[in-house]
Amino acid sequence: MKSIQVYDTTLRDGSQGEKINFSAEDKLRIAQRLDSVGVHYIEGGWPGSNPKDVQFFELAQGVSFKNARLSAFGSTRKPKISAKKDANIIALLQSETPVVTIFGKSWDLHVRKVLGTPLKENLAMINDSVAHLISRGREVIYDAEHFFDGYKNNPEYATKTIEAAVSGGADWIVLCDTNGGTLPFEIEEIMESICPHIPVKVGIHTHNDSGLAVANTLVAVRAGAVMVQGTVNGYGERCGNADLTTVIPNLQFKMGRSCMTKKNLSHLTELSRYVSEVANMTPFNGRPFVGKSAFAHKGGIHVNAIMKTPKAYEHMGPEAIGNERRVLVSDLSGKSNIDYKAREMGVELGGNGFDSRSIAKEIKRLEHEGYQFDAAEGSFELLLKRLTGQFKPLFEVESFRVSIEKEKNFPCKAYATIKISVGDQQEITAAEGNGPVSALDNALRKALNKFFLVDLEEMHLVDYKVRVIEGRDGTSARVKVFIESRDQKRVWGTIGVSTDIIEASWQALEDSFQYKISHT
């Protein structure tokens, strides 16, 4: 199996994505996680551009990376100045990384219109910068910025820029589709034309402006690239970079190009979710391979088939990249979905006369009323157990009252009073909160703490969503409320439906606590 080097630029290119802002400490934690999964190169940032990246490299000097080589990123020297006196080059060397990645202009348009310097001087800038870094004992990766656009516009000059980097001693030449506008067949044609004339190792760096970053990366490997650059989750400027969580498994499983060990590949989903958490970005469920929905099945025919042979509706096993198979329940479900979920949840069917067929029928009825159980598996499990006589509510709500107080120039205050019963005992509690649902949540916790030896402090709400089922009725329309809760072991979703948003919220909140206590 021919191996491919994985070069991660999440900490530099990825941090240029909208709404992403890593601290130096964030970057160090991500770098250590990237190292632990076997990434070969980690681009830490551009020390010549901002103090935060300087701080990151200072922190990184105290860390021993087991698998990855750390790289500092920057540009070639400025026009009409020696490389050894250029501030950017000096900052790169001061980072004390074993690898330095520099980019230079391959497109004559950029040289003339952006740099405003003669074409010949640009070639000298590339050659001098690479040669100086090599003389200082660094492994040098040369990123040929805008190479494909430059080659299409002026192939002779674009080729000369590569020759300048090679003659300077570059260890790698990375061809970049910086604007993300090149098509896969163009990438392949250009690389097949240029690669035989590049005497050093070649890599590929693509952007996703045409939605083709992953495809362009894969065809580049077919055409001779042995390094792939990209970011975790495809984060990056504009439409992002090639997503390494998609590139790596495609190379490994579809193209037979080794990128990681099997053990490290099994942590790919975990890596994706970790980086999204540090970046404070909501994970995209539909992300190939590592997304929550990547191996989720909803249609009854599909579920019936995967119960017999998973490859009937899955292109690979989810466990290989640390993901899991999920079966969803909705009005599209058949008895196969119910059978699968019942086994998964350890529920015996048939009690109270409810087998999988009758439960599927009940699900369809409830979803017609507005319920949506594919996003509320906590409520679905409770429903399944209630219908089959395997669950009795652990507490009953006798009543609750919510009030909102608003004073001029002050934020709203919410108060809730709740009366619950557990067996023959009753408890009335009151609490305040940032809103009506928060107040109800706080009041219910106080009441339940009197009866159950459960650490409810470790349980907290992580998401709250309201959806109008049918908008034609205006403010009197039915709504569904989703609540996602988590503790140290699991995450679960619950749902409520009503014409009253508070009642719908209460239904979802009550289910969440019933689920938590029953699983303790």
In order of their start, the domains of the chain are: 5-260 (3.20.20.70), 296-387 (no CATH), 396-518 (3.30.160.270)
> What is the pLDDT, as a whole number, of residue 163?
98
What is the torsion angle, in degrees rounded to the nearest 10, for the CA atoms of residue 285, residue 286, residue 290 and residue 293? Answer: 70
Q: What are phi and psi of 81, to 5 degrees?
A: -145, 145
> What is the pLDDT, as a whole number, of residue 206?
98
From residue 449, give the alpha-carbon distance in Å to each of 313, 392, 422, 427. 46, 19, 12, 10
Q: How far is Cα 394 from Cα 61, in angstroms, rounded to an integer?
A: 55
Crossing angle for the helix pair 335-345 and 377-387, nearest 10 degrees?
A: 90
Report the predicted TM-score, pTM, of the whole model to 2 decimal places.
0.77
**472-479 contacts at long range (C-beta below 8 A, 24 or more positions apart):** 478/369, 478/370, 479/370, 479/504
Q: Which pLDDT tens digits describe the chain residue by residue (520 residues)?
A: 679 999 999 999 999 999 999 999 999 999 999 999 999 999 999 997 888 999 999 999 989 999 999 999 999 999 999 999 999 999 999 999 999 999 999 999 999 999 899 999 999 999 999 999 999 999 999 999 999 999 999 999 999 999 999 999 999 999 999 999 999 999 999 999 999 999 999 999 999 999 999 999 999 999 999 999 999 999 999 999 999 999 999 999 999 999 999 999 999 999 998 998 889 888 888 999 999 889 988 777 787 887 788 888 889 999 999 998 877 766 566 677 788 877 887 888 887 778 888 888 888 888 888 888 877 888 988 888 888 888 889 999 999 999 998 888 888 889 999 999 999 999 999 999 988 999 999 999 999 998 988 888 888 888 888 888 765 555 557 889 999 988 877 888 999 999 899 999 999 999 999 999 988 7
| 147, 106 Cβ separation under 8 angstroms | yes
> What is the pLDDT, as a whole number, of residue 475?
56
> What is the pLDDT, as a whole number, of residue 472?
58
Q: How far is Cα 6 from Cα 16, in angstroms, rounded to an integer?
A: 20
Among 199, 80, 88, 77, smallest CA distance to 127 is for 77
Sign of CA dihedral 3, 9, 11, 15: negative
Kind and range of the H or E run holding 465? strand 460-468
Sign of CA dihedral 34, 39, 40, 44: negative
> What is the pLDDT, as a whole number, of residue 228?
98
Q: How far is Cα 192 from Cα 203, in angstroms, rounded to an integer?
A: 13
> What is the pLDDT, as a whole number, of residue 340?
81
> What is the pLDDT, as a whole number, of residue 1?
60
Which residue type does 326 have? Answer: R
Q: How far is Cα 465 from Cα 481, in angstroms, rounded to an integer?
A: 6
> What is the pLDDT, as a whole number, of residue 354?
81
Residues 6+ apart with CB under 8 A from 113: none
Q: How far is Cα 16 from Cα 239, in angstroms, rounded to an integer?
A: 11
Q: How far is Cα 6 from Cα 8, in angstroms, rounded to an integer?
A: 6
Q: How far is Cα 367 from Cα 357, in angstroms, rounded to an integer?
A: 16
> What is the pLDDT, as a whole number, of residue 135?
97
Q: How far is Cα 27 from Cα 135, in angstroms, rounded to an integer?
A: 29
